[in-house]
Chains A and B, each alone.
Chain A
């Protein structure tokens, strides 16, 4: 039976990953995800999990080893952050192209430079278009739930794609939270062993990771795009089943007090919970604030977004990364392109917040809401604002 635990989220992530019975784990340490693979190494060493733990010499090798293991049928887990993800970079787009359902916990951390080990989303945004399913946890409970869900989603033969479970570095990885941890029996029941679609056998020789000449590359890319888009159906199914089994509801975009809301804010990741406190306070003042949290980022939940912002006068989109030289920050750019064709849509304000571990407090969210309230009448000067940035 599920049990309530109090634990550092990274350790809980490792424990739940172990309950998923991975056959292979390959990782190279990097702050702030390190406790995840480190604790898994302990679990394996103590004999609680029958698994090959591969302490390879770099992330580049870690993801390559994961690819090899997954290609021959293993259930594979890995974890990294920031520069580690970029060092995997060469292999990152290969995994979905080979349709390998690897699950990666990404303890989100700012990209260097300047060197920074703290939280933002610049790491995941750098790989967002490389074909992985992308989930964002807002707290410890979602982190552990999503890791189990990720295997089930990715390994489904209608999907066969890798899944990134994003959890904010430090804000989540290093925080002790109260969570409900499923037990082995429950996880086994929810997540049967992986049935690989294709594997190596002398009677049925296959080639994987092959060349794509100009005659076929375009079609291969279209197939990959469609596979990712189509995965949404399975994601929703798995989330329904999860809700039925464990009683915790998951949806691509979660909403909080958005009914009749005048100004709605969209967050991604753990800032949601702080922003929710701001929304409560604003309601006390009679300010009709609402909040959305995007849990599913790839495939992008366009329909859910359109429905979620209906009726709002202003939408504030928060971003945790700068798209240097771009028209907008990454989440907002996508939100705008989805809403562009809507006959009626809210005025959109883009706030870049919490870069490289900069704190964003309840007061800050309140300020953002109040400032944005007139955005439908007075167009903001710039397409995006880096909130709280010092200019001198």
Chain B
């Protein structure tokens, strides 16, 4: 019989995801693992998981992993990559991790043009700590710390980290994707692959932002969460390639 679906080799065997049913993290993990398999980089990849719901990513993705403290991923990844420039180094971060407490690290690793790949899981809340408002929370979105809905006068605007990073010359490739539908999942996988390929080719800093459903803290069914990404989130965070330096100029000695 022809095998049409199996576990990527870069996902560990015999685990049960601790993620909530319908969570986007598990899809993103699988995509990263599939791409690592397809590019044949499992033996040379090092991951940096965050503080956040993905804190246990090393339970699932079967490559070397070095845990970062909350927000410090891109700085930690910088240290790894500078010592081991022939390895493929990625950090995997939530929006609290990357766009709140770790804003400085994200911005500066990007600005230095570190040849690393950042996966930015944007679910518009602090998932792990129980669904508080994040800088990425949509205007009007109700969270535990924005009960009446996010209000510009008190809480400012949803921060668009991908657009901000695009302004930096050190940043070579940024794409915003989503994991809420089969079509979007296919596109996300392509983007992940391209980002890793750019790192392999020595192009420089790339980031893939992934809009990711958090049914638990959005207090929605899994299906409604997928719809909410299309109907609400995408309006604030449009999908697509935001920056791509198509004529890659190889960095020497990095």
A and B: interacting chains: yes
Q: Which residues of A pack against B, CB within 8 Å? A: 28-31, 34, 37-38, 41-42, 45-46, 53, 55, 57-60, 83, 87, 112-113, 115
Q: Chain A residues with Cβ under 8 A from B145's Cβ?
A: 29, 37-38, 41, 53, 55
Task: Say yes or no: B129 contacts A34, CB within 8 Å.
Answer: yes
Q: Chain A residues with Cβ under 8 A from B94's Cβ?
A: none
- B102-157 contacts to A, CB under 8 A, are 103, 126, 128-130, 132-133, 135, 144-148, 154-155
Nearest 8 interchain pairs by C-beta: A45-B147, A29-B129, A57-B100, A58-B101, A41-B145, A29-B132, A38-B144, A55-B145
- A237 → B minimal CB distance (Å): 37
Residue of A nearest to B145 (CB): A41
Q: B67: CB under 8 A from chain A?
A: yes
Q: Chain A residues with Cβ under 8 A from B70's Cβ?
A: 83, 87
Task: Say yes or no: B133 contacts A55, CB within 8 Å.
Answer: yes
- B204 → A minimal CB distance (Å): 26
Q: B71: CB under 8 A from chain A?
A: yes
Q: Which residues of B pack against A, CB within 8 Å? A: 51, 55, 67, 69-71, 100-101, 103, 126, 128-130, 132-133, 135, 144-148, 154-155
Task: Say yes or no: B147 contacts A34, CB within 8 Å.
Answer: no
Q: Which of A31, A59, A60 contacts B129 (CB 8 A)?
A: A31
Q: Which of A53, A83, A115 contacts B67 (CB 8 A)?
A: A115
- B5 → A minimal CB distance (Å): 34
Q: Which of A28, A31, A38, A55 contacts B155 (CB 8 A)?
A: A55
Residue of B nearest to A34 (CB): B129
Q: Please, how many angstroms separate the alpha-carbon atoms of A302 and B112 in the complex?
A: 53
Q: Given A37-B145, A112-B69, A28–B101 Cβ distance below 8 Å?
A: yes
A-B contact count (CB 8 A): 55
- Supply 5 A–B pairs (Cβ within 8 Å), ascending by A: A28-B101, A29-B126, A41-B146, A60-B101, A83-B70
Q: Please, how many angstroms separate the alpha-carbon atoms of A42 and B145 in the complex?
A: 7
- A277 → B minimal CB distance (Å): 33
Q: Please, how many angstroms separate the alpha-carbon atoms of A41 and B130 in the complex?
A: 14
State the majority secondary structure of interface residues on B. loop
Residue of B nearest to A113 (CB): B67
Q: Please, how many angstroms separate the alpha-carbon atoms of A204 and B101 in the complex?
A: 37
Task: Say yes or no: B69 contacts A55, CB within 8 Å.
Answer: no
Q: Which of B55, B101, B128 contacts A57 (CB 8 A)?
A: B101
Q: Chain A residues with Cβ under 8 A from B126's Cβ?
A: 29
Q: Chain B residues with Cβ under 8 A from A60's Cβ?
A: 101
Q: Given A41-B147, A42-B144, A57-B100, A30–B129 Cβ distance below 8 Å?
A: yes
Q: Chain A residues with Cβ under 8 A from B128's Cβ?
A: 31
- A282 → B minimal CB distance (Å): 41
Q: Which of B51, B69, B130, B147 contacts A42 (CB 8 A)?
A: B147
- B250 → A minimal CB distance (Å): 36
- A244 → B minimal CB distance (Å): 38
- A51 → B minimal CB distance (Å): 12
Q: Chain B residues with Cβ under 8 A from A34's Cβ?
A: 129-130, 132
Q: Please, how many angstroms separate the alpha-carbon atoms of A55 and B125 in the complex?
A: 12
- A234 → B minimal CB distance (Å): 34
Given pairs A83-B51, A83-B69, 16 additional interface contacts (CB within 8 A):
A29-B130, A31-B129, A41-B132, A41-B147, A42-B144, A42-B147, A45-B146, A55-B133, A57-B103, A57-B135, A58-B101, A87-B101, A113-B67, A115-B51, A115-B55, A115-B67
Most buried by B among A28, A53, A59, A87: A28
Q: Please, how many angstroms separate the alpha-carbon atoms of A113 and B67 in the complex?
A: 10
- A214 → B minimal CB distance (Å): 32
Q: Please, how many angstroms separate the alpha-carbon atoms of A41 and B132 in the complex?
A: 10
Q: Please, how many angstroms separate the alpha-carbon atoms of A264 and B126 in the complex?
A: 45
Q: Which of A38, A55, A87 contacts B130 (CB 8 A)?
A: A38
Task: Say yes or no: A55 contacts B146, CB within 8 Å.
Answer: yes
Q: Please, how many angstroms separate the alpha-carbon atoms of A112 and B55 in the complex?
A: 13
Q: Chain B residues with Cβ under 8 A from A46's Cβ?
A: 147
Q: Please, how many angstroms separate the alpha-carbon atoms of A113 and B66 in the complex?
A: 12
Q: Please, how many angstroms separate the alpha-carbon atoms of A31 and B133 in the complex?
A: 15
- B183 → A minimal CB distance (Å): 33
Q: Which of A42, A53, A58, A115 contacts B71 (CB 8 A)?
A: A58
Q: Please, how many angstroms separate the alpha-carbon atoms of A53 and B154 in the complex?
A: 8
Q: Chain A residues with Cβ under 8 A from B103's Cβ?
A: 57
Q: Chain A residues with Cβ under 8 A from B155's Cβ?
A: 55
- B223 → A minimal CB distance (Å): 28
Q: Chain A residues with Cβ under 8 A from B147's Cβ?
A: 41-42, 45-46
Q: Please, how many angstroms separate the alpha-carbon atoms of A29 and B100 in the complex?
A: 11
